[in-house]
Amino acid sequence: MTLTVSQPQWSVTEEIPTLVFCNLSHLGLLSVTGEQGRSFIHGQVTTDISSLNADQWMWGAHCDPKGKMLASFRAFSIDDALMLMMPKDTLAADLPQLAKYAVFSKADLADASDSWAILGVAGQEANSWVQSQFGAISAPVTAIPDGVILKDGERYIIVVAAKNSDALIDTIEQPIYTSSVWQSIEIQAGYPNIAAAHQGQFVPQMCNLQAVNGISFNKGCYMGQETVARMKYRGGNKRALYILAGTTQNTITLESQLELALESGFKKTGSIIEYAQSGEHVILTAVLPNDTTDAAILRFADDETSNLSIQPLPYSLDDE
């Protein structure tokens, strides 16, 4: 079956319909297996893989020796395999970095993206639909035939073997939307989805990874740990992830430059992390100086008519 996807008929800045399905084709899965697979990854990433149970998922990051992120991901298990879910372009760039060190362990790393289909379900009726298909889902990760379901509040990510995904798709009577709809939902959640273009630019705290429990400050050593720990215990982090929404006449990209309004004009600031756009409406996450106030007005540098305002984060940064 060829999966047909639809464009949303609502703005990315508006509330989504009561039941939304999204083809998460932009996400890939890095599979980690082998006798020392989990211990190897545990020693490479910010999150405590050793404590990850089969019914849990965690945010985490893989950093370079300087503590700058090479990837951010959700970690969870499917049977005996540890899975790291991240944007496909990030996976392609990060896998070789991990593989350089995996040769010294009994760990097998592979891009398993083609073996799995990933579907997002959101909206007020998402819980009812998931229960009607799979029964009550209460744990963060629940095993289903040929896959798992990740529960994230009232949102769900269904990971199912690609060879058996047609049966799942056949149960869906509503349109299945493009991944941009899911990206707008993730942006509103303030999530740190790092693209390959961001590799080596940001310490995890600059993208609020600590606020989504993606950093363990109690585990043993890992790549870049000294920098990450110093940011917490000695301070020095001057940036944070913000949610921005507004309008522009242009088609934006990750390279689009932001400007901050000052009394004397505008100055360039920040970096776009993830964005979703429908017509002139846009919502995005951006790393900005962490003294940027909620009342700040921003715009795109190449569109003087554009206007962006800061949106509330759904979590606190006070305990950084």
Q: Rounded to the nearest 5 degrees, what angle is found at the Cα of 287, between the Cα atoms of 8 and 247? A: 40
Would you state the structure tokens that stand for residue 188, as one six-digit string? 């509103």
Alpha-carbon distance 104 to 102, whole Å?
Answer: 5
Q: What is the pLDDT of residue 319?
A: 61
**Is the CB of residue 159 less than 8 Å from the CB of residue 121?**
no
- Beta strand pairing call for 176-177 and 20-23: parallel
Would you state the structure tokens that stand for residue 35, as one six-digit string? 């006798």
- Beta strand pairing call for 108-111 and 116-122: unpaired
Residues 6+ apart with CB under 8 A from 96: none
Over the chain (320 residues), the average pLDDT of each successive run of 10 is 81 95 97 96 97 98 97 98 98 96 93 98 97 96 97 97 93 95 97 97 98 94 94 90 98 97 94 97 97 96 97 85
Q: Rounded to the nearest 5 degrees, what angle is found at the Cα of 219, between the Cα atoms of 214 and 224? A: 70
Helices marked H in 189-224 — which ranges?
none
DSSP track, 161-183: EGGGHHHHHHT--S-EE-HHHHH
Alpha-carbon distance 314 to 190, whole Å?
Answer: 7
